């Protein structure tokens, strides 16, 4: 119903002495119909925008691609029917992710070179059983987090190793067991560090000074 028809209908109802309630019902019906018409226009505009967004932009020198049509998530077969006059996009099954074109910054295991560790080399040189060096290197890294490397090497030198090689533990077993802290019969005395030597020298000097002071005090009394 157009606005012109609505005006004529209202005038006819007023001429027929219709009540305001009756006229109001007619106006409500007209308003509802207009709202439905506007909603249909809005929906048509939204569908048009969706179609425009689904169509890929035209690149000079390249044929335009067909619009993207939603498909069922469970359907993995390629589409066989053309869309909008263009052939469907080829469907490739089980395609792998292409490798990165940028070179990796971290070297592979084969490219990694052995990083020399002088302290471990000293430990390995004096350890009596040369078996399982790779495991010993890993155990060494854990051991030096718990103790001074010099203390570990000193423990190897002092340890009372059995004469029979069959009873020698592997280096990794010895390190993981913190065996440099063992206190066994026949162990050589531990080497004193420079700090310990300085402390002993300081105590010796203090003792000599105290002894000299006492001697001088006795001579004065005599």
- What are the boundaries of each domain within the chain? 3-49, 118-181
At which residue do the structure tokens 């490739």 appear? 92
- Residues 138, 146: Cα–Cα separation, whole Å: 14
Contact 119/149 with Cβ under 8 angstroms?
A: yes
At which residue do the structure tokens 């992710």 appear? 97
Indicate whether this model's pTM tops 0.75.
Answer: no
- Residues 138, 147: Cα–Cα separation, whole Å: 15
Q: pLDDT class for 16, splitting at 50, 70, 90? A: confident
Hey, which of 11-20, 51-60, 94-103, 135-144 has the most confident mean pLDDT? 135-144
Q: Is the pLDDT of residue 83 over 50?
A: no
What pLDDT digit, counting tens, does each position of 45-61 carry? 888 888 887 765 555 55
The count of other CB atoms within 10 Å of the CB of residue 138 is 13
CA 83 to chain centre: 43
Q: Which of 58-75 are b and which e, b meaning 16 or more Cβ less than 10 Å from the residue's Cβ?
A: eeeeeeebbeeeeeeeee
Query: What mean pLDDT value characterizes the chain?
Result: 75
- Residues 111, 63: Cα–Cα separation, whole Å: 46
Q: What are the Cα distances from residue 24, in Å, to 31, 38, 130, 174?
A: 10, 21, 106, 100
- Residues 191, 197: Cα–Cα separation, whole Å: 10
């Amino acid at each position: 119903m157009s606005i012109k028809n609505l005006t004529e209908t209202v005038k006819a109802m007023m001429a027929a002495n219709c009540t305001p309630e009756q006229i109001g019902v007619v106006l409500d019906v007209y308003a509802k119909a207009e709202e439905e018409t506007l909603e249909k226009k809005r929906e048509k505009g939204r569908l048009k925008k969706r179609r425009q967004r689904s169509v890929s932009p035209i690149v000079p020198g390249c044929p335009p691609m067909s619009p993207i049509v939603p498909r069922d998530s469970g359907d993995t077969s390629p589409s066989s029917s053309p869309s909008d006059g263009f052939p469907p996009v080829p469907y490739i099954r089980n395609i792998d992710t292409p490798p990165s074109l940028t070179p990796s910054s971290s070297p592979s295991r084969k490219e990694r070179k052995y990083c020399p560790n002088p302290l471990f080399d000293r430990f390995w040189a004096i350890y009596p059983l040369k078996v399982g060096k790779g495991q010993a290197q890993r155990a060494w890294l854990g051991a030096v987090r718990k103790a001074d490397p010099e203390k570990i090497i000193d423990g190897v030198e002092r340890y009372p190793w059995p004469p029979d090689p069959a009873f020698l533990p592997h280096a990794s077993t010895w390190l993981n067991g913190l065996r440099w802290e063992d206190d066994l019969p026949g162990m050589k005395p531990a080497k004193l560090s420079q700090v310990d030597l300085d402390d002993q020298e300081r105590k010796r000097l203090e003792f000599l000074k105290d002894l000299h002071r006492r001697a001088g005090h006795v001579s004065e009394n005599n």
